Amino acid sequence: MNLPTNSPGSRVKPASAADVTVTTPRRRTPAPPRRSLRSFRVVALLPLAVFILVFAAYPTIQLVRMSLSDVGIVGGEFVWTPTGLSNYAQFPDDDIARYSFLITIVFIAVTVPATVMLGTLLAILVHRSSVLAGLARNVLLWPALIAPVVVSVIWWLILSPNFGTLNKVLESLGLPPQGWLGHSSGAVFSIIVVDIWHWTPLVFILIYAAIQGIEPDLVEAAEVDGATQAQVYRHIVIPLLLPAIAAATLIRLTMGAKAFDEMYVLTKGGPGTATTLASLYIRNVFFDRLDLGYGAAISVLVIAAITVVMILVAIGRALRPGRELFNG
């Protein structure tokens, strides 16, 4: 599959500001088009701006306000009582909350490197393959495209202790069945395996597109100079893929922090609280315990943690101006 419109190598885009300066002298009647341009460009941007303000800025303000209040529901109406920082004061003493942040970090620390490495490997394999490339390019996308809850159902059918396919396979091999999701380490291991199966395909597409953008001349020159295949990948292909790998890592990092659907269906955060990632704990506090203020406070802490990571990434980018993280 050749994507003619998608070659990261050719990045020649005219700056939009420059276009306008070029067009100005050619206008016959400068005044009227200018006014219609001004109004249309504002009108065209308005829907996006309204969506950002109403469904991102306003809810965020409400979230912060809620985290500083005690919010009760009386007769279907919210009743807000300002309480200062008392919601945040609960956090340090809340063992489950601290565990949920810790297990989220562990989850990210394992699944992000694993999916990025496996996805890159798959991209290289597909690039080097001739027979299976077409089929693999298609099938390998499936997990990333089907609904996360369906992914959970698939793995529930495999891992379920009672009639799961994996235990059936073990039994027919004469091995004892396992309660994969029944104990803490097995459940954590399971959600990590499921996440790697689920999201390696996304990394694969991103890196595969970048590989296709590499100039064949570069590889050819190295081969003419007598480089082995291993050397070509080690010294030419992988370094050229680094920006795409960095972008994929960043995307996977934010996805790790968002993870919810798979665990909610597969383990419900259990057994006990073993797989209660931060997102699951927020839902639990907010909707099961109906402790709206505290749920909002944990949400604010999650957003703060992500903001810190993103600022660190931005600083890292600024210190290395040669590396363009977001290239298209």
Identify residues 252-311 at the interface with other proteins (CB under 8 A): 254, 257-258, 260-261, 264-266, 278-279, 282-283, 286-287, 292, 295-296, 299-300, 302-303, 306, 310
- The rounded distance, in Å, linking the Cα atoms of 229 and 221 is 12
**Which residues 32-61 are close enough to bind other proteins by CB under 8 A?**
33, 36-37, 40-45, 47-49, 51-52, 54-56, 58-61
Angle CA 166–168–169, to nearest 5: 65
**Which residues 144-173 are close enough to bind other proteins by CB under 8 A?**
144-150, 152-158, 160, 162-163, 165, 168, 171-172
Nearer to other proteins, 54 or 106 (CB): 54
Helix residue spans in 213-237 (DSSP H): 216-224, 229-232
Nearer to other proteins, 4 or 84 (CB): 4
* Residue type at position 83: T
- The rounded distance, in Å, linking the Cα atoms of 245 and 253 is 12
**Which residues 187-216 are close enough to bind other proteins by CB under 8 A?**
197, 201-202, 205-206, 208-209, 216
Binding mask 89-128 for other proteins (x = CB under 8 A): ---------------------------------x--xxxx
Residues linked to residue 78 through DSSP beta bridges, in sequence order: 73
Q: Does 236 bind other proteins (CB under 8 A)?
A: no
Rounded to a whole number of angstroms, the minimum distance from the CB of residue 98 to other proteins is: 17
Nearer to other proteins, 41 or 323 (CB): 41
Nearer to other proteins, 80 or 110 (CB): 80
Any residues with CB less than 8 A from the CB of 199 and at least 6 apart, and which? 111, 115, 143, 144, 252, 255
CA distances from 97 to 179, 254, 277, 307 (A): 26, 19, 9, 19
Number of residues that bind other proteins (CB under 8 A): 122
The encoded tokens of residue 102 equal 């810790």
Any residues with CB less than 8 A from the CB of 37 and at least 6 apart, and which? none
